[in-house]
Amino acid sequence: MHELSLLRGVIDAVNESVPGRNVLAVGMKVGTRSGVDVYALRQAWDLARVDTTCAQARLDLDIIPAAVWCPQCEDTVEIDEYFALRCPKCDTPTADLRGGDEFQVTWVDVE
Ligand SMILES: [Zn+2]
């Protein structure tokens, strides 16, 4: 499972940033175009954290919607992750992604 190996990497990174501490919660930003399945990610968390410093930790996900810059609207517009890269308002093609590919730890809460 793709998400499980990603989370093992996350837990390794958390261990390095707060070595030996009992982790209570891990906050992450996950973009809707990051290729990560949020449902699978939540399930994989329960497996990944077993016997680690994150064993008691809650996973707090901040889902970042994908957006593109539309030169026609001169605005950043949110797109559906399954849509082609075009502005949902005026249908102008644009590949100028502004967010949505995030997959990063943003904060860690320790005891
Ligand atoms: Zn537009």
Q: Each residue of 28-68: pLDDT tens digit?
A: 999 988 989 999 999 999 999 999 999 999 999 999 999 99
pTM as predicted: 0.83
Q: What's the 101 CA to ligand 1 centre distance in angstroms?
A: 21
Residue 54 labeled ligand binder: no
Q: What's the 67 CA to ligand 1 centre distance in angstroms?
A: 11
Question: What are the tokens at 20?
Answer: 């030996």
Confidence at residue 55, expressed as pLDDT on a 0 to 100 scale: 95
45: left (phi over 0), alpha (psi -120 to 50) or beta: alpha
Sign of the four-CA dihedral 6, 61, 102, 106? negative
> Rounded to whole angstroms, how far apart are CA atoms 59 and 43?
10
Confidence at residue 83, expressed as pLDDT on a 0 to 100 scale: 64
Q: What's the 25 CA to ligand 1 centre distance in angstroms?
A: 39
Quickly state the pLDDT bin for 1 (edges 50, 70, 90): low
Q: What's the 36 CA to ligand 1 centre distance in angstroms?
A: 27
Among the listed residues 23, 56, 29, the one whose alpha carbon sits nearest the alpha carbon of residue 41: 29
Confidence at residue 81, expressed as pLDDT on a 0 to 100 scale: 64
Residue 33 labeled ligand binder: no
